[in-house]
Amino acid sequence: MRFLILGGSGYLGSKVINELCKWNHRIVATKRSNSDTSRVLSDSVLWIPANEEAIRTSMLYEKFDWILNMVCNYGRSTVLYDDCIEANLQFPLAILNLAAEFGIENFLTIGTGLPERFNMYSLSKEMFAQFGRFYVDKHRINFTSMKLEIFYGFDEPSGRFIPDVIRRSMENEDLYVTEGTQLRDIVAVDDVLDAILFVISYGPKGYQEIDVGTGEAPSIKEIVEFIHSYAGATSKIHFGAVPMRPDEPNCVADTAALTAMGFRCKWQWKQGLRKMIDEMGGNI
């Protein structure tokens, strides 16, 4: 099959590309001028600029079976909301419009399990999904929004919460965290990757929202304490040293849609974290 992948140089996007390349699929992927593509292992990927003109030109010469939108911006720009809205809504919407124009039938986007109005990231992701519903109704595109919970992997970028807690615990540093009462469904990146590939092979029709998670939601406190203990740390954990965000939500995936398709995550959260800590231990 032929895939156009938006945001292919990112952590999750590169994993999807690497797996699709194993099966000799044709991959065209977008990147920005400063993107690091070193995570992508195949030299068969055609990289094009992440702009509407370049993508339109590519569509003139390639009949894509799928567009996968892996672009995510969490809204950490110094310009209020600007990058977040452009990356999560305006850019993919322009490409969704091209998909309708060129008769591309299947569009999959990565969304979030966070509540819609929690922040601009979750709101812009949900707004794009609703545009997807419109295009399904008006242009008969198959549009799937895969709503991810927190995912983790030993090779994920530094600075993210779970690998940072693991590293600090392994180095026996004190941990300064929130009270940790918020509940979070955390899912291994291998399960996220398998779920995405499974959904592509399944080929959902019409508009679909699919939660990706384990269906369990330990508290952040439980997660931190488990990591600290399994890593063998004797340092102190300072719960409450970091203030909670206002209206901090509890998040757990509704796994009914994936289960009905025949997919289940392999890694329960403690098993997955043990595996991640062991893998990170070999790299410290």
pLDDT digits (tens, 9 = 90+) for 183-213: 999 999 999 999 999 999 999 999 999 999 9
* CA angle, 97 then 23 then 272, to 5°: 90
pLDDT band at 229 (very low <50, low <70, confident <90, very high): very high
Residue 191's pLDDT is: 98
Inter-axis angle of helices 11-22 and 189-202, nearest 10? 50
**How far is 100 from 82, CA to CA, in rounded Å?**
26
Beta bridge partners of 48: 30
pLDDT at 149 over 50: yes
The 10s digit of each residue's pLDDT in 246-269 is 889 999 999 999 999 999 999 999
Q: How far is CA 282 from each of CA 52, 155, 276, rounded to the nearest angstrom?
A: 43, 12, 10
pLDDT band at 159 (very low <50, low <70, confident <90, very high): confident
**How far is 69 from 46, CA to CA, in rounded Å?**
16
pLDDT band at 284 (very low <50, low <70, confident <90, very high): very low
CB of 168 closer than 8 Å to CB of 280:
no
pLDDT at 283 over 60: no
Residue 190's pLDDT is: 97
Q: pTM value?
A: 0.94
Average pLDDT over residues 127-145: 97
Sequence-ordered strand ranges (E) for the chain: 2-6, 26-31, 46-49, 66-69, 106-112, 142-148, 150-152, 175-177, 186-188, 207-212, 237-239
The 10s digit of each residue's pLDDT in 44-83 is 999 999 999 999 999 999 999 999 999 988 876 555 677 8
Share of the chain above pLDDT 70, in %: 97
Residue 81's pLDDT is: 75
Average pLDDT over residues 127-155: 97
Residue 158's pLDDT is: 77
